[in-house]
A and B are shown apart, each in its own frame.
Chain A
Amino acid sequence: MMADAIQIQVNGEQRGCQAGATVGDLLRELAIKTERVAVELNLEILDRKDFDHRSLKQGDRVEVMSFIGGGAPANVHGRGRGVVHAE
């Protein structure tokens, strides 16, 4: 591991990231377009315009959320269908 790398958690999964990287950098690295997603950093929902100003630090927990097919909650517990991929 590089000296300037930190560990963060994104959508429940551990991953490495450059120290000093911003939320915006992370989304670009994951190829996630910022429109249509909501980002929560350590339970704080971020304003989209702050993505490039909020830097990540060791142990941060990031949630990247978007819309999937839904209406009846039953499908939500189901596996397979319904995982969305914000582009």
Chain B
Amino acid sequence: MQNDRLIIAGREFTSRLFVGTGKYKDFAETKKAIEASGADVVTVAVRRVNITDRSKENLLDYLDPKKYTILPNTAGCYNVEDAVRYARLARAAGVSDLIKLEVLGDERTLFPDTVGLLEAARILVKEGFIVLPYTNDDPIVAQKLVDIGCPAVMPLAAPIGSGLGIRNPYNLKIIMEMIKVPIIVDAGVGTASDAALAMELGADAVLMNTAIAGAQDPIAMAEAMKYAVQAGRLAYKAGRIPRKSYATASSPIEGML
């Protein structure tokens, strides 16, 4: 596992678990959960600074950008114009050229608007962004995103925050076989077995937020997810046995009475 590094756009990551920083009780809990998860990459959103109440703390006081790769997202953007604007603001706020691109199509499902996503990705790649797109479990769209120049693709497992787990393992498997850049399964994971399954299918990484932040004990769940991702990755690399309908004895017949 030591040499099994994930590389995206020349950046090397030890952990294959990416975590969001939303929905935690406070920054102290966020920090503890992220430490327990072992993640290198943490996602953040871009929002207005509260100018009337200056007493509160800043998330980045708790997450050292030297220790973590901060991945800003365009969460909450429902059109190309907004997503591009938020991406530019994220870059101007000064972390890096990395952007997790979300162009949402609908408030109820938070499914990506893949037409808008392709258009926004095209604009941002041209402007030198490292675009990691949140997309549907659609292999054709995934390929188009790669063709545009995205160095990784992030298909969903299920709707954001739904905890439904992997709803379409067959599509994800096709994406993993077809697409030659790292695949990060993003959104919909509910518990550790979902994360392990994503990795067993061949995902290069898994990104989650609610599954950890919404658990009764987020710090324990963060640790569970760390092991699930590691176990799933090891199992994938080890190569599972084929499924068969009938038994195959494990103990030899030879030497029986």
A binds B: yes
- Residues of B near any A CB (own CB < 8 A): 19-24, 27, 30, 43-61, 70, 72-73, 75-76, 88-95, 102, 104, 107, 110, 160-161, 187, 207-210, 213
Given A38-B90, A45-B88, A48-B94, A70–B48 Cβ distance below 8 Å? no
Q: Which residues 22-53 in A have Cβ within 8 Å of B in the complex?
A: 30-32, 35-40, 45-48
- CB–CB B70/A67 < 8 A: yes
A8 to B51: give the CA distance in the assembly, Å: 14
- CB–CB B49/A37 < 8 A: yes
- CB–CB B76/A87 < 8 A: no
How many pairs of residues, A versus B, come closer than 8 Å at their CB atoms? 166
- CB–CB A66/B53 < 8 A: no
- CB–CB B160/A83 < 8 A: no
Q: Can you give 22 contacting A-B residue pairs, CB < 8 Å?
A: A35-B94, A36-B93, A37-B49, A38-B94, A40-B89, A46-B92, A65-B47, A66-B58, A68-B44, A69-B27, A69-B45, A70-B44, A71-B19, A71-B21, A71-B23, A71-B75, A76-B47, A76-B75, A77-B107, A83-B53, A83-B56, A85-B57
- CB–CB B23/A72 < 8 A: yes
* Total number of A residues with any Cβ neighbor in B under 8 Å: 39
Distance (Å) between the CB of B110 and the closest chain A CB?
6
- CB–CB B59/A84 < 8 A: yes
- CB–CB A70/B161 < 8 A: no
